[in-house]
Structure 1
Amino acid sequence: MASVFLYLLSLLLFPLFSSAQTYRNITLGTSLSTNDRNPYWASPSGEFSFGFYPIQDVFMLAIWYEKIAVESIIWTANGGNTVESGSKIELTSDGVLSLSTPNGTQIWKVESMDSIGATSAAMLDTGNFVLSSDESAIKWASFDIPTDTIVPTQILNPLGKLSARLTQNDYSQGRFELILQGDGNLVLYQKARPMGDNYDGYWDTATTNGSQLIFNQSGYIYLSLGSSNTSRISLTTTTQVSPTQFYHRATLDFDGVLRHYTYPKNSTGGRWRQSWSVSEYVPLNICTAFGGSALGSGVCGFNSYCKLDDNQRPQCNCPPGYTYLDSNNTFNGCKQDFLPQTCGTSDGFEMREILTTNWPTSDYGRFTSVTEDWCRQTCLDDCFCAAAVLGGGTCWLKKFPLSNGKTDATADKALIKVGKPQLVLNNRNNSCKKDRDNLILPGSILLGSSMLFNLLLISVICLAICGFRHKKQHQMRQDPPSISGMNLRSFTYKELEEATDKFKEQLGKGAFSTVYKGILESNPQSLVAVKRLESVVEGVEKEFRAEMSAIGRTNHKNLVQLLGFCDEGAHRLLVYEFMKNGSLASFLFGDSRPDWYQRIQIAFGIARGIVYLHEECSSQIIHCDIKPQNILLDDSFNVKISDFGLAKLLMSDQSRCTTDIRGTRGYVAPEWFKRMAITAKVDVYSFGIMLLEIICCRKNVERESWDENYEILSDWAYDCYVENKLHLLVENDEQAKNDGKMLERLVMTAIWCIQEDPSLRPSMKTVTQMLEGAIEVCMPPVSDPSSFISSICV
Structure 2
Amino acid sequence: MTSARLYFIFLLFQLPYFSHLAIAQNNGTVPVGATLTADNKDQNPAVPRGSQVKLTADQGLVLNDPQGKQVWSSKIDIGTVAVGHMNDTGNFVLASSSSGRLWDSFSNPTDTLLLGQMMETEQGLFSRKSENNFSRGRFQFRLLEDGNLVLNIANLATGFAYDAYYTSGTYDPANSSNSGYRVMFNESGYMYILRRNGGRFDLTTERVVPAADFYYRATLNFDGVFAQYFYPKNGNGNWSVAWSEPENICVDIGGGLGSGACGYNSICTLDSDRRPRCACPKGYSLLDENDRYGSCRPDFELSCWGGGQGYNKELFDFHELKNINWPQSDYERFKPYNEVQCKNTCLSDCFCAAVIFNDGSCWFKKLPLSNGMTDSRIAGKAFIKYKNKGDDPPSVPRPPDPEDKKKSKMMNATGSVLLGSSVFVNFALVCAFVLGFSFIYKKKWIRNSPDDGTIETNLRCFSYKELEGATNNFKEEVGRGSFGIVYKGVIQTRTSTTAVAVKKLDRVFQDGEREFKNEVFVIGQTHHKNLVRLLGFCDEGQNRLLVYEFLNNGTLASFLFGNLKPNWNLRTNIAFQIARGLLYLHEDCRAQIIHCDIKPQNILLDDYYTARISDFGLAKLLTLNQSKTIKTAIRGTKGYVAPEWFRNSKITAKVDVYSFGVLLLEIISCRKSFDIEMGEEYAILTDWAFDCYRNGKLNVLVGEDKEAMNDIECLGKLVMVSIWCIQEDPSLRPTMKKVLQMLEGVVEVSVPPNPYPFSSSMGLY
Give the shorter-chain TM-score range. 0.3 to 0.5
**If the length of structure 2 is used for normalisation, what is the TM-score?**
0.45
- Asked which structure has the greater CA Rg, the reply is 2
**If the length of structure 1 is used for normalisation, what is the TM-score?**
0.44
